[in-house]
Structure 1
Amino acid sequence: MLGYFGPKGTFTHQALRTVSDDEAIAFPSVRAALDAVRTGEVRAAVVPIENSVEGGVSATLDELIAGSPLAIIGEIVIPVEFGLYAREELRLEDIRQVLTHGHAAAQCREWLATHLPNANITEAGSTAGAAAEVSRPDSHYDAAVSARVAGRLYGLTELAYQIEDNPGAVTRFVLVGRPGPLPGRTGADKTTLVAYMREDHSGALLEILQQFAVRGVNLSRIESRPTKTTLGSYCFSIDAEGHAHDRRMAEALEGLHRICPTVHFLGSYPRADKVRPSIGIGFSDAEFDEASAWVQGLDRETVTRD
């Protein structure tokens, strides 16, 4: 059975349905969903990890390494489209109280300021929870900003749709399970890890980045996260293009292992967009193998010359 960061009607629920129609368990927080994977209550869980407007989801980035090891085994990317929903047909100028999640409010800020200048915007735990609250006959909220799936789920009237300020915005979700054999290489893969600096000094981040750069590995995301030990102590959450079984990625991981006190490897998995990385000259597996064979043959060449 799968789990997900709920409740029903959220974008996470929508993402889950792209990979499974089976019964799934909704959890009230990212931590609860990932802990359920750790205990075996569910075999895997879907949680949000990155939004094209708001950036990384801090709760997920932190909780992935907060307990016993977990592994990302897949990713899902879906468009983020919001609507304004009420119990009944209302004029926009009559709306005074709007309930929504903080991220939704941020992504619809301009539209709300333009069309609902006199409304109070209150944050809820989720957009689906906001829709559920507005659907109550005794609710003092006039409308909710949520996904269309939530508006329909709770029988609300759609007053406006696609009110997000950034058309084309997407949210990336990951399917997280317990560690096991890596999914096979597809040629369009991504690797996620968290690297810690050995000490804070000039060039410490550069040393980490060089492990990828000198091996032709492109990074699609890098974010600093506090280690929660001392002020100014940070680690780096990284998405890199490629699979751990690719020679260039494997050598980059080996380099990180040498220079970092801790590296949390969170998995290699197929990219949702199926885009293959551009591999520069000298960085294909065949070229790594040829170079290794050349080095191994140096002794024989020396003996022959003697």
Structure 2
Amino acid sequence: MKKIYFQGTYGAYSHIASKNIDEDAEVIPCKTFDECFEKGTSDPDSRIVVPESNRITGNIGIEYLIFKYRLNIYAEYFQKIEHNLLGTPDSDLRDIKDVYSHAQALSQCSNFIKKNNLIEHVRADTAGSAEMVSSLKDKSKAAIASVLSAETYGLKILKNNIENEKGNLTRFLVMGKNIYQPEFKEEKYITSFLFKLKSKPAALYQSLGGFAINGVNLTKLQSYPEKNSFDSYFFLCDLDGHIEDTKVQKSLEELGLHCEDFHVLGVFEASKTRSKK
């Protein structure tokens, strides 16, 4: 049985995503994203499942770890996010004064929080907030978390689906140490890579020309400063296509001429969810 590591505690959305990705896997929580990536590096046969971005609130903030560890990306998975207000078994919505959750969950439920005059408290994760509320046994305190968190920690669902916008999705990446890429067939693929440009004027503009010439679509291009630097940046990029496609190969060869560092993170099938969004 494969192991899947995720950041957070049992009941977290990462836990839900991990079980949906492989219901037979042994799912193991990690306290931090750093620990999660370290486990994926030291245990080559394992997988890690990490949130990369949210449809509403944007990037989660794991880019520096992707750059540091350079684990292979095997797949993407879009998890539907449905937030719920969870309280102690003896509580009622009118009892709640304080609400605890991850910063992004609080932001995604801001309308409900304001409407009910709740005091926000930021915590490391949603499920951990549910676990804390369960242990405090104070009916004035509630957590914003998943239905699984309510079941896991014996809490009462005071209000379902309190997020501002329905159809909220978080994109998760399935990553690991061993390199694998699917055979090039008649499927929709994504090639993910990172690069750092040589220091010269107009380097980014010149480096991207090959994608336009070869008709390759870039779906993601984001820059991040290197550690302890504000004048040296690396880029994370996704493109539509398989790395064995001639157009993609020519584009990446052109890009490589302008790079000081280049690394392919993975080639994987595009999620069917992309066409439904």
Identity %: 26
Q: Helix, strand or coil: the match of 1:106?
A: helix
Q: 1:129-153: CA deviations, max 9, x gaps?
A: 0011111144586100011111121
Could you tell me which residue of structure 1 aligns to residue 226 of structure 2?
A: 227
Higher strand share: 2
Q: 1:72-93: CA deviations, max 9, x gaps?
A: 0111111111000001354434
CA-based RMSD of the aligned residues comes to 2.0
Q: Is the 8 A contact 2:5 2:28 kept in 1?
A: yes
Structure 1 pair 215/18, CA: closer, same or farther in 2 (3 Å)? same
Q: Is the 8 A contact 1:188 1:275 kept in 2?
A: no
Paired with 1:266 and 1:62, the residues of 2 have a C-alpha distance of 13
Q: Is the 8 A contact 2:256 2:262 kept in 1?
A: yes
| Equivalent position amino acid for 2:76 in 1 | E
Paired with 1:180 and 1:226, the residues of 2 have a C-alpha distance of 26
Could you tell me which residue of structure 1 aligns to residue 104 of structure 2?
A: 103
Q: Which moved more, 1:170-179 or 1:225-234?
A: 225-234
Structure 1 pair 228/257, CA: closer, same or farther in 2 (3 Å)? same
Structure 1 pair 62/251, CA: closer, same or farther in 2 (3 Å)? same
Paired with 2:206 and 2:168, the residues of 1 have a C-alpha distance of 33
Q: Is the 8 A contact 1:99 1:141 kept in 2?
A: no
* Alignment map for 1:1-306 (pairs within 5 Å): 1-21=3-23, 22-40=25-43, 43-59=46-62, 61-67=63-69, 69-114=70-115, 116-117=116-117, 119-138=118-137, 142-186=141-185, 187-199=187-199, 201=201, 203-273=202-272
Q: Helix, strand or coil: the match of 1:104?
A: helix
Q: Is the 8 A contact 2:44 2:178 kept in 1?
A: no
Q: Which moved more, 1:142-151 or 1:186-195?
A: 186-195
Q: Is the 8 A contact 1:111 1:165 kept in 2?
A: yes
Paired with 1:110 and 1:209, the residues of 2 have a C-alpha distance of 41
Give 1:2 shift.
Answer: 2.2
Paired with 2:37 and 2:167, the residues of 1 have a C-alpha distance of 29
Q: 1:221-263: CA deviations, max 9, x gaps?
A: 2221111243233221111111111111111111121111111
User: Would you say how many aligned residue pairs link Structure 1 and Structure 2?
Assistant: 271
Give 1:275 shift.
Answer: 6.0
Structure showing greater radius of gyration is 1
Q: Is the 8 A contact 1:36 1:42 kept in 2?
A: no
Give 1:167 shift.
Answer: 1.1
Q: TM-score, normalised by structure 2?
A: 0.91
